[in-house]
């Protein structure tokens, strides 16, 4: 089966073509970083309007690169949620319209399921079951994954996602947007001994996260010191060190709790170099193998949506004639492909 995947949940416009036999044939991404950088974060209305401008040309391009045109497409997958309502509607409307015009089935995909399955696009993919750490600008969670659509969320952030905390801390330090790469770059010149930030919710049992207090600690530290380049670098180092260490501690607990020997790390923060280095050490100590998608597939992309869509379409799942989007949609609400009421989406 060959599937066109469309991703427009936030500030990246993505399109891709995935073939169940040949793998990923083409994928393209247009980032809106330059559009939103002056605001220090995503402006929903601007994001939606830019998706309208960029999406159809991207779809045409990946169809051309995949070869064969739309007559070779067997189904269309689009991000149904969670995300920004206006942005989601752009992708859902185009995806459903193309499927209707081409007389092909369509399916709405959960954005985080796409991230969770993204490592399966790699040459040596993980097998089920595994533990998944999903870390992005809008989500931070740990899931016990038994199979496609079989997700038990065992820990999640009670406030800010880790990516959101990176963005807000970078903004208060004047480092720009997006915050993850900006903090990482600044931290390279930081003094590891000058500041030590707390590791939130690691002094008690459980797998939930909290990053709001860490962000506030960084803000208070910045308020109490002159923000010269050296201090900015030192705060960036301390913040990144604490955020990564917190993720590490919770992953160690979750591996021991579930007994899994495989850990999937996905989402934009999964590209962080320090996180990857420390998870490598964790893997050695705990005897668990860590899987990542390639760096360009850590951020939002159409490839992960095309893959997830292919798995669900092959099982007979499809949307009805109408469509909807779900800006708020918990991962635990998903069901295995084609199971029960979930076999038709967007009616």
- Distance from the Cα of residue 195 to its chain's centroid: 30
CATH number of the 128-292 domain = 3.30.420.40
Angle, to 10 degrees, between the axis of helix 179-187 and the axis of helix 162-172? 60
Cα gap 141→135, rounded to integer Å: 7
Domain 2-117+297-345 has CATH 3.30.450.20: no
Query: 8-61, pLDDT tens digit by residue?
Result: 999 999 999 999 999 999 999 999 989 998 888 899 999 999 999 999 999 999
- Res. 230: pLDDT tops 70: yes
3-state secondary structure of 137: coil
Domain coordinates of the chain in residue numbers?
2-117+297-345, 128-292
Query: 165-174, pLDDT tens digit by residue?
Result: 999 999 999 9
Ramachandran class of 210: left when φ > 0, alpha when ψ lies in -120 to 50, beta otherwise: beta
Topology alike, domains 2-117+297-345 and 128-292:
yes
3-state secondary structure of 151: strand
3-state secondary structure of 119: helix
Percentage of the chain modeled with pLDDT above 70: 98
Q: How many CA atoms lie within 13 A of 308 on its CB side?
A: 31
- Res. 347: pLDDT tops 70: no
Query: 299-342, pLDDT tens digit by residue?
Result: 999 999 999 999 999 999 998 888 899 999 999 999 999 774 44
């Amino acid at each position: 089966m060959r599937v066109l995947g469309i991703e427009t949940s936030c500030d990246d416009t993505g399109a891709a073509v995935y073939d169940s036999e040949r793998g990923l044939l083409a994928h393209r991404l247009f980032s809106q970083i330059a559009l939103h950088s002056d605001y220090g974060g995503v402006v929903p209305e601007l994001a939606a309007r830019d998706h309208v401008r960029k999406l159809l040309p991207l779809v045409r391009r990946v169809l051309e690169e995949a070869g064969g045109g739309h007559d070779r497409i067997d189904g269309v997958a689009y991000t149904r949620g969670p995300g920004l309502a206006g942005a989601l509607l752009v992708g859902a409307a185009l995806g459903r319209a193309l499927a209707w015009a081409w007389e092909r089935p369509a399916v709405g995909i959960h954005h985080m399921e796409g991230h969770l399955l993204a490592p399966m696009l790699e040459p040596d993919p993980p097998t089920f079951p595994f533990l998944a750490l999903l870390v992005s600008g809008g989500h931070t969670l740990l899931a016990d994954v038994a199979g496609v659509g079989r997700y038990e969320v065992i820990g999640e952030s009670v406030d800010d996602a880790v990516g959101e905390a990176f963005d807000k801390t970078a903004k208060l330090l004047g480092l720009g947007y997006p915050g993850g790469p900006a903090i990482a770059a600044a931290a390279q010149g930081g003094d590891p001994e000058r500041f030590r930030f707390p590791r939130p919710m690691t002094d008690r049992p459980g797998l939930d996260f909290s990053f709001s207090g860490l962000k506030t600690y960084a803000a208070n530290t910045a308020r109490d010191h002159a923000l010269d380049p050296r201090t900015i670098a030192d705060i960036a180092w301390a913040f990144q060190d604490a955020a990564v260490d917190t993720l590490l501690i919770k992953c160690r607990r979750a591996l021991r709790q579930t007994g899994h020997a495989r850990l999937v790390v996905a989402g934009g923060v999964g590209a962080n170099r320090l996180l990857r280095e420390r998870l490598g050490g964790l893997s050695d100590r705990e005897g668990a193998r860590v899987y990542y998608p390639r760096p360009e597939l850590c951020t939002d992309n159409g490839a992960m949506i095309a893959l997830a869509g292919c798995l669900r379409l092959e099982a007979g799942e499809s949307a009805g004639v109408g469509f909807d989007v779900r800006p708020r949609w918990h991962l635990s609400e998903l069901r295995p492909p084609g199971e029960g009421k979930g076999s038709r989406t967007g009616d």
